[in-house]
Amino acid sequence: MGQKRRILFAAIPLSGHLNPQLDLARYLDPDHYEISFLSTRHAAGKFQDKDYTFISILDQRYEEISALLEVSTDPTIEQTYFRLYNTVSQLLPILIAAYQAMTIEIEHLQPDLVVTDFSTLFGSFACESAGVPYMTTNPSIGIVESTNQWEDAPYFLGGWKPASSFWGKIKNRLGWLFLSWVKRSIFLFHPRVKETPMRIYRSDGTEAYYSNRMMLMLGLEELEFNRYLPTYLRYIGPCISPSTSVQREALPDKYEKKVLVTFGTLLDGRQDQHLDQIKVLAQAYPTYLFILTDGKVECQGDAPTYEADNIMRYGYLSYSENFDQFDFVIHHGGAGILHECLKHAIPSLVLPVMWDQFDQAARLEAAGASLWLKKGEAILDRFTQLQTMDRTRLKQLQAALKGYDTAQLFNEAIDELLGGSMDDTRNRN
């Protein structure tokens, strides 16, 4: 056996970005690869029981990053482009520092390949500066610029769907121009950006913060309604975490149906904001049991509480051990939960909160896999419609998901960028 290849994964310290990378790393043979992860100290707890090397950067900015993460993920604050502009503007000095720190770590580690999550906006610049091959992974649907901005729907605008009319195409084009203007203006007005290679677009027009050689989409191509996407995109299927040793919950069996209500690990407090709506559903469907989970891993094993006779609330509920107990799901449109619903062919009602969640809700509804609760609509009406939703497309998407061998496709992508030969290691002298 030749020398092990060194693979460096890089992600921001949020579960929706870090967990898929951990799942991808699980697909690599430890006899062939030496795996490291780069993030901030906020992610250190994820690696306490892992055999990976964890590299922490920007330790001196820990409190500053914590504050920005808290503000940027606060579900009580309305998501607007003004807020996005302010948040990214505040992040720019941190992104520049992260780019510099990651470049240093790459030079020190000398990886053969880097795998960057799409949200590490500094990752591509560090890899290109260091001259190391890299790929971008993206668990989010549609967050890539179209090559035909008249036909395809832009993202981050509240969940637009494709339009075939003349005025719809004009709207699409204006939406893409607006997105481009926002991104350019953020970088344009920060003086320190000019001191780095960080730019929005390359000379060939591709988005510079992603790899333009290989971008792995961790989802289903069958769910994407935009059709004019860069040729370097490759769909390899979702990363769904395996079964764990967490005990399966013994949910009461006296109810006709069970409904999971979850807003993931990112949107802390969102369950409380929707509790009154869930109580409306619980009163209208007394034979249904509604299960809320707060997504707090530290509450794993805690006994549930009751918000009403048929509303149970868990601090944490493992999807992998319990998902098949549910008949319906109410969720926020996160990548992890939507793929669990497709895997089990469970109808869902989507209540998106921020950014790409609206785009994912639009695609799920367009595909016939979910219903989307839009602003001003009554949750009881939409949930009632969910009871009789045609599940034909949901079953088809379930079958499509099963057709993806994510582990095999990821290993093939790794081999392609590394040249295929396990013994052809880089000279690290």
- Give the global pTM: 0.88
Q: Which residue has the tokens 């906020």?
A: 42
Q: Between these two residues, 395 and 323, which has the higher pLDDT value?
A: 395
Q: Between these two residues, 83 and 403, which has the higher pLDDT value?
A: 403
User: What tokens were used for 380?
Assistant: 């009881």
Query: What is the Cβ-side half-sphere exposure of residue 363, based on CA atoms within 13 angstroms?
Result: 29
- The alpha-carbon radius of gyration of the chain (Å, integer) is 22
As beta bridge partners, residue 215 has 136, 233
Domains of the chain: residue spans and CATH: 5-238+404-418 (3.40.50.2000), 257-402 (3.40.50.2000)
Task: List pLDDT tens digits, range 38-95.
Answer: 999 988 888 877 889 999 998 998 888 888 777 665 655 555 666 666 666 777 888 8
The DSSP letter of residue 58 is -
User: What tokens were used for 400?
Assistant: 């499509």
221, amino acid identity: E
Interstrand relation of 134-138 and 311-314 (parallel, antiparallel or unpaired): unpaired
- b/e 270-299 (16+ beta carbons within 10 angstroms → b): bbeebbebbeebbeebeebbbbbbbbeeee
Report residue 421's pLDDT band, with 50, 70 and 90 as the boundaries.
Answer: very low
* DSSP track, 323-351: GGG-SEEEE---HHHHHHHHHHT--EEE-
Q: SS3 for 260?
A: strand
282, amino acid identity: A
Q: Which residue has the tokens 């909160």?
A: 353
- b/e 45-59 (16+ beta carbons within 10 angstroms → b): ebbeeeebebbbbbe
Q: Between these two residues, 362 and 304, which has the higher pLDDT value?
A: 362
367, amino acid identity: A
Report residue 223's pLDDT band, with 50, 70 and 90 as the boundaries.
Answer: very high
Interstrand relation of 305-308 and 311-314 (parallel, antiparallel or unpaired): antiparallel
Q: Considering only CA atoms, which of 239, 424, 428, 268 is closest in space to residue 340?
A: 239
Task: List pLDDT tens digits, range 101-143.
Answer: 999 999 999 999 999 999 888 899 999 999 999 999 998 877 8
Mean pLDDT lowest among 190-194, 355-359, 416-420: 190-194
Distance, CA of 199 to CA of 341 (rounded, Å)? 37
Task: List pLDDT tens digits, range 358-399.
Answer: 999 999 999 999 999 998 899 999 999 999 999 999 999 999
| Res 283 pLDDT > 80 | yes
Element (H, E) at 191: none
User: What tokens were used for 128?
Assistant: 């290109």
pLDDT of the residue at 185: 80
| Res 322 pLDDT > 70 | yes
| Res 405 pLDDT > 80 | yes
Q: Between these two residues, 7 and 64, which has the higher pLDDT value?
A: 7
Distance, CA of 347 to CA of 20 (rounded, Å)? 23
Report residue 429's pLDDT band, with 50, 70 and 90 as the boundaries.
Answer: very low
Reported in sequence order, the residue ranges of 169-325 that DSSP labels E, i.e. its strands, are 215-217, 233-235, 257-262, 288-293, 305-308, 311-314
Q: Between these two residues, 217 and 319, which has the higher pLDDT value?
A: 217
